[in-house]
Amino acid sequence: MTPPAVTAAVVHPATRGTLHVEIAQVLIHTPHPGDQHVLRLQSPLIATTARPGSFVHLRCDPTLPMRRPMSVMRADPAAGWIEILFKAHGLGSRLLAGRRQGDEISLIGPIGVPFKLRGYRRRPLLIGGGVGIPPMLFLAEHMRSCRLPAAPLVLMGSEVPFPFRPRPSQILVPGMPEGTIAAMPLLEDWKIPSRLASGQRFAGCFEGFVTDLAGHWIGSLPEQERREIEIFSCGPMLMLRAVARLAREFQLPCQVSVEEYMACAVGGCAGCAIRVLTPEGPAMLRVCVDGPVFDAAAVFPA
């Protein structure tokens, strides 16, 4: 019998009344090329309160006490499930890759300050790299529910096969380099344009960094349309630094979700602290509960 979920201690105003310890059950485990995996987890409490940018701290296996942070890729409050995407590259994630339908996984979440949830500019640009793709998918789905005047553009980069089978896009995106037509099927079904980038010569993908693709597209727009853009991004720190430079070059607002190693993930150990510029000056803030979403200019100042 599944133990009842219990509410965990409050650790930060952003999680007040919404942070839970929950025993989730694996509903579906879908493996993908590149040793990537998607788990759909029955987790009704977390599914109800997760927001784009939220993550969970999960126990990969009963034999491994140390938990791992994983971004929420999708959440369905009505059905009570969340999805996570991860790449198996260490002991914990390899043990997690061995979990099967019906297995139980202990979760703490949802944790963290999410991306902004309203008041978007007319042209949101979402940039995801590698395992930074999941929050962008969650944010795109949220924006879809907001019925914005224009759909966001989602750009994704990966140096391993994408965790889905790309297909040629049926949605025209003016300003894209010739031949850049590969898209994510789920986003296509949602009528949200997407394009893919990689240095691995995948068919239909832009050859190079996803930030170069973003810069090409932004630079192709008339100045008036360029002013309507705001950027949201998640991925490796080097990629986020490049995204911040891009936002600075074109004078665009930008939020980034920062990836960092962490131990407790609830603000107690401060092992994930990074230097951030605040109105009061530089400060060491915790990625887990003060973030993971920050203003790009605060994390990567000029």
Q: Determine the pLDDT at residue 2.
A: 37
Question: What is the pTM for the complete model shown?
Answer: 0.92
Q: Determine the pLDDT at residue 13.
A: 43
Distance CA 129, CA 116 (A): 20
Q: What is the number of alpha carbons within 13 Å of residue 219 lying toward its C-beta?
A: 9
Spans in the chain with pLDDT lower than 50: 1-16
Domain(s) labelled CATH 3.40.50.80 in the chain stretch across: 123-254
Q: Determine the pLDDT at residue 31.
A: 96
Q: Determine the pLDDT at residue 3.
A: 35
Domain(s) labelled CATH 2.40.30.10 in the chain stretch across: 6-111
Q: Determine the pLDDT at residue 150.
A: 83
Q: Which CATH architecture has domain 123-254?
A: 3-Layer(aba) Sandwich (3.40)
Q: Determine the pLDDT at residue 52.
A: 97
Q: Determine the pLDDT at residue 190.
A: 97
CA 92-93-95 angle, 5° bins: 65
The CATH code of the domain at 6-111 is: 2.40.30.10
Q: pLDDT tens for residues 116-148?
A: 999 999 999 999 999 899 999 999 999 999 988
Are residues 5 and 23 in contact, defined by beta-carbon separation less than 8 angstroms? yes
**What are the φ/ψ torsions at residue 18 (nearest 5 degrees)?**
-125, 0
Distance CA 20, CA 36 (A): 27
